[in-house]
Amino acid sequence: MGAHPAPSSGDAGAAAPESPPRVRAARLTRTLDRFLSGYGGRVTAAVRDLATGRFYDYHRDLRLPTASGAKVNILMAVLLGTPWRRLDERGRADAGRMIRFSDNAAADRLYERIGLESGLARANRRFGLRSTFTPPGRCVDLYCWGITQTTARDQVRLVRALARSRSPLAARERGQVLRLMANVVPRQRWGISAAACEHSRVSLKNGWLRHVSDGRWAVVSIGLIREVGHRYAVAVLTEDSLTMGAGVAEVEGTARRILAAFRGGRRCTVDEYQEVPPTSR
Provide the angle, in degrees to the nearest 10, between the axes of the packed helices 70-81 and 116-127: 80
Angle at the Cα of 83 (from 164 to 93), degrees rounded to 5?
Answer: 105
Q: Report which of 98, 91, 197, 199 is spatially closest to residue 145, judged by C-alpha positions.
A: 98
Query: How far is residue 25's CA from residue 265's CA, in Å, rounded to a whole number?
Result: 16
Q: Residue 224 has what DSSP assignment?
A: E
Annotate 95-127 with DSSP letters as a single string: HHHHHHS--HHHHHHHHHHTTHHHHHHHHHHHH
The whole-number pLDDT of residue 258 equals: 97
- Using DSSP's 3-state secondary structure scheme, residue 81 falls into helix
Q: Which CATH architecture has domain 2-280?
A: 3-Layer(aba) Sandwich (3.40)
Query: How far is residue 95's CA from residue 180's CA, in Å, rounded to a whole number?
Result: 8
Report if pTM > 0.75.
yes
Query: How far is residue 39's CA from residue 248's CA, in Å, rounded to a whole number?
Result: 11
Q: Beta partners for 210?
A: 217
Query: How far is residue 50's CA from residue 33's CA, in Å, rounded to a whole number?
Result: 25
* pLDDT tens-digit profile, the chain (281 residues): 454 443 343 444 444 445 788 999 999 999 999 999 999 899 999 999 999 999 999 999 999 999 999 999 999 999 999 999 999 999 999 999 999 999 999 999 999 999 999 999 999 999 999 999 999 999 988 999 999 999 999 999 999 999 999 999 999 999 999 999 999 999 999 999 999 998 899 999 999 999 999 999 999 999 999 998 999 999 999 999 999 999 999 999 999 999 999 999 566 644 433 344 443 33
The whole-number pLDDT of residue 109 equals: 98
Query: How far is residue 223's CA from residue 158's CA, in Å, rounded to a whole number?
Result: 9
The whole-number pLDDT of residue 253 equals: 98
